[in-house]
Amino acid sequence: MRNTARIIAVTTALAAATAPLLALSSPALAERSAKTVQSVQNLPLDWLSLQGLTETAHLQRIKQLLGKGYVPSALSVTNAANPEYTSVWVKDATRKVNVLQDLSVTDLPKRVTEQQKLGFQPTLITGTGTGAGAVFAAVFEKTTRKLQSRTDLTKDTLATVNTQLSAAGYTIASLDVYGTAEKPLYAAVWAAGAVAGTVQVTTGQTVEQRGKELLARAKQGLSPIAMAVEPGKLYSTVWGKVGSTGLKEYLQLSRVTYKLKSIELKGLGYHPTMVNVEDNVYAAIWSKN
C-alpha cells in the first residue's frame, strides 16, 4: 500500500501562506529557497516548463509557482516505481487550482469526490504503471464548467464513453495512457463545448503511423487537441479543429532533447501547449498563440 501521507493538495492561497514558513525553517533552507524563488522570478512571465522532476522536487516547485500566480496547463507522470513529473505552467492568477500527486489507484476516486465537494473539478488526470502499483496525479480547478472524468478505460470502453459524452455535447480535453503495452488503460477528462465540431480519437499508433495520421488530419483541417504516449512507445491522439496557428510537433524526444527543443522554440516565439511522457519518451506540441 502506498503512503497516502505523501499525497499533495496545494491551493494558491495555501502555497502563498506556507512558502515563507518553509523558507524560514533553517538558515540553510532559507538560502536555498530564496535562490529557487529568485530563479522563478527570472523566468518568463507567461509560461515555464519543468521536466523529469522527482516527487519532492516537483512539490517544491508547485508551492512556489502556485504562490506566484501560475497554474499547470500540462502535467505528466511516468515511472511508477520512482515517479518523475513533467509539467507546463502558465501565468493566470485568476484561477484557483489544486494539484494532487502520488495518488494510488484507490486514492484517486476518493480525492476526486473530496475535491468535487469543495467545488473543484478534475481538469487533467495523468497516470503511469499498472494494477495496485499505478501512480496518478491530477489538476483540479474551481470552475463552473461542466466536466466529466473517467479512468481505467480500455480502448473499447474509451470509444463507447466518448461516443456517449460526445452526443451530450462533451469533447475530450485531456487524455493520458497508463497500464502496459499489452493492456493500455486510458484516463480522460471531457468538457462541455470545449471544441467546436466532432472530435476523433486514434490509439495505439507507432511513430510512423502517427506521422502519416498528422498529415492526413491536417488536410481535413484537424489538429491534435490532446495527445499521450502509451506504454510501448505508441501514441494516442484526439483530433479536432483548434484556433492555434503555427503548431510544431515533436515525438520521441528524450528529457534532454525536450529541454533543448523548448529553448530553441522559445527563441522563435513558441510555447508548449501539450507535453506527455511515458517510458522515458517525451512528446510535445508547441504553438505561437
Q: Where are the beta strands (DSSP E) in the chain?
A: 47-54, 70-78, 84-91, 97-103, 120-128, 135-142, 147-153, 170-179, 184-192, 200-205, 223-230, 234-240, 248-253, 271-278, 281-287
Verdict on whether the full-model pTM lies above 0.85: no
pLDDT average, residue stretch 183-188: 98
Look at strands 135-142 and 84-91 and give their pairing. Answer: unpaired
Alpha carbons within 13 A on the beta-carbon side of 271? 17
Query: What amino acid occupies position 95?
Result: R
pLDDT at 194 (0 to 100) = 65
In the structure grid, which three cell numbers stand for residue 127, read together?
A: 497516470
pLDDT at 241 (0 to 100) = 86
Say what percent of the chain tops pLDDT 70: 81
SS3 93: coil
pLDDT average, residue stretch 156-174: 93
Phi and psi, residue 183, nearest 5°: -140, 80
pLDDT of residue 18 exceeding 80: no
